[in-house]
């Protein structure tokens, strides 16, 4: 398995894309990601050090079941309490201390796993001259994976922060990290926050 920043230092072309570290996945939620308590400080330190170069994504459930389509309807039939018509709006917010960083950090909302489908994120990044994404957040094997794969498809340099991603499933996290470090090692770099901070001097 390959680890580390193999393609040089990080600069103004990079942003920190922090995926879904929200109350929605905190301890009080049916969708709780217990590991997030360990990786939240890593994401927070990276965001605070590069606050103007951080984008926080948020997963926003539909308001009602009638707004869902296909297999999403079956999904929310299982989780009706997570529809916005019954969900406490505070559950959509970023976890503390991340929410205090917005602004100048930016926020990007979407209703599905991938942030790429409607083109808004790609346009935002291209307008800012961004070609490198440093990824933290959750879950490693769901929304992070969808974010990473979409970024690879669009030609971005992708760096997954090894101590800054988490999942509610150990097996899924381990499998995803093996994939990032192995099969996709030509297009994805995996590095610790400490190594990234050393190489990112903006």
- H helices present in 71-169, as ranges: 71-78, 120-127, 143-153
- Assigned token pair, 37: 């308590």
Residue 138 has pLDDT above 90, yes or no: yes
Chain mean pLDDT for the chain: 96
Tens of pLDDT, residue by residue over 95-127, are 999 999 999 999 999 999 999 999 999 999 999
- Listed in sequence order, the residues at least 6 apart from 189 whose beta carbon sits closer than 8 Å to its beta carbon are 4, 5, 6, 7, 157, 158, 159, 160
| Three-state DSSP class for residue 198 | helix
92 three-state secondary structure: helix
Q: What is the largest CA-CA distance in the chain?
A: 48
Question: Exposed, middle or buried by CB within 10 Å (0-12, 13-18, 19+), for 153?
Answer: exposed
Tokens of 165: 């991603």
Domains of the chain, CATH where assigned: 14-62+92-199 (3.40.50.850)
Report d(CA 48, CA 52) in Å as an integer: 9
pLDDT value of residue 201: 82
Query: Which pLDDT score is estimated for 1?
Result: 65
pLDDT in tens, 62-102: 999 999 999 999 999 999 999 999 999 999 999 999 999 99
On the 0-12 / 13-18 / 19+ scale of CB atoms within 10 A, 131 is middle
| pTM (two decimals) | 0.96
pLDDT, mean of residues 25-50: 96
């Amino acid at each position: 398995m390959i680890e580390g920043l193999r393609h040089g230092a990080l600069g103004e072309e990079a942003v920190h894309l922090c995926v879904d570290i929200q109350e929605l996945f905190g301890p009080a939620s049916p969708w709780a990601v217990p590991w997030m308590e360990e990786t939240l400080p890593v994401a927070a330190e990276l965001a605070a050090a590069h606050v103007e170069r951080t984008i926080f994504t948020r997963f926003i459930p539909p308001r009602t079941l009638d707004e869902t389509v296909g297999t999403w309807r079956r999904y929310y039939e299982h989780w009706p309490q997570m529809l916005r018509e019954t969900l406490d709006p505070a559950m959509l917010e970023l976890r503390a201390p991340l929410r205090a960083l917005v602004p100048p950090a930016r926020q990007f909302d979407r209703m599905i796993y991938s942030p790429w489908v409607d083109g808004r994120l790609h346009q935002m990044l291209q307008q800012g001259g961004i070609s490198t994404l440093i990824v933290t957040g959750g879950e490693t094997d769901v929304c992070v994976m969808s974010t990473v794969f979409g970024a690879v498809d669009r030609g971005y340099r992708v760096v997954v922060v090894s101590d800054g991603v988490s999942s509610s499933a150990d097996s899924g996290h381990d499998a995803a990290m093996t994939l990032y470090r192995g099969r996709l090692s030509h297009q994805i770099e995996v590095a610790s926050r400490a190594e990234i901070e050393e190489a990112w001097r903006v």
